[in-house]
Amino acid sequence: MFKGYFAAVVTPWKNGKLNIEAFVRHIKFLIESKISGIVICGSTGESMLLSQEERRLEMREASACIKGRVPLIINVGSPDTGICIAQAQEAERFGPNAIMVTCPQYVKPSQEGIYLHFKAVHDAVGAPILAYNVPFRAGVDIATNTVKRMVDNLPRMVGLKDAGNNLSRIAELAKVYPSERFQILYGNDDLALAAFAMGACGIISVTANIAPKECVEMYEQFFAGNVSRYSAIRKKLTRLHQAMFVESNPVPVKYALSLMRQMTDEVRGSLTQLSQESKAEVEAAMCEAGLLCKRK
């Protein structure tokens, strides 16, 4: 089920408030572009800056908009296991295909603490669970043996989003668990093809917000064995992947979407809009990818 190019959807703001019209419009754009699936309330969606009511509104509107046409994954996460359980139970009400649970951030738990956190959330809901390993944000890496422990003991632990750089872990897990039982989704656009070669089923992508058709075609051509075509698309998107992280995600991708007139480039909290130098890099990368000149 969780295969292909999934978009890690951004949260649009307008004058400091959630712009739900732009949010729904963007999801429709992604679905029309044949995206493989939708992930909301994640890192790219500024999840830590959403109020409970804003999360609820995004979940409700995304579910109503998608209507089962593509898989919907809702991300939850808190270092407080009780809060994370409450988020997961509310997310389950909106009928996602899976709930993605972020590794507890900031507190740097032990591997035992990580396992017990995921087990508690798993046992509190009936939906399939994806673990989200994001060491550069959480401050701790979910060890491969901990992932195996979860898969072996938690029957609805069906997948992993891995945003680390340990590609050998993907190969090791893919060798042990068939994709029908456990799906690995990578989290870094720039290494997506390498992750696919190692056994990942797909990717949860930032770049897919602005180049969904190109990303999906690259994935399809890779698995069809059309080396010349997927290599050409990869080359076209390489600078764009890098530009999406020229400053903290999701600041660059929101600026790119503003250039495409999808939404404003507003961000919230301690995030700031792009510097002029970074704006120039994003614009140049979009032109190189054929996006800005085509869609501006």
Query: Residue holding tokens 């959807």?
Result: 9
Q: Using CB atoms within 10 A of its CB, is residue 79 exposed (0-12), middle (13-18) or buried (19+)?
A: middle
Q: How far is CA 30 from CA 51, 213, 276, in A?
A: 25, 8, 28
The closest of 118, 120, 61, 72 to 95, measured between CA atoms, is 72
Q: Tell me, yes or no, if 132 is annotated catalytic.
A: yes
The single-letter DSSP state of residue 110 is -
Is 106 in the active site?
no
Q: List the catalytic residue out of 5, 115, 132, 255.
A: 132
**DSSP SS3 for 31:** helix
Which entry of 115, 161, 186, 219 is annotated as an active-site residue?
A: 161
State the pairing for strand pair 4-8/98-102: unpaired
Distances (CA, A) of 29 to 23, 34, 196: 10, 9, 25
Q: Which residues are catalytic?
A: 132, 161
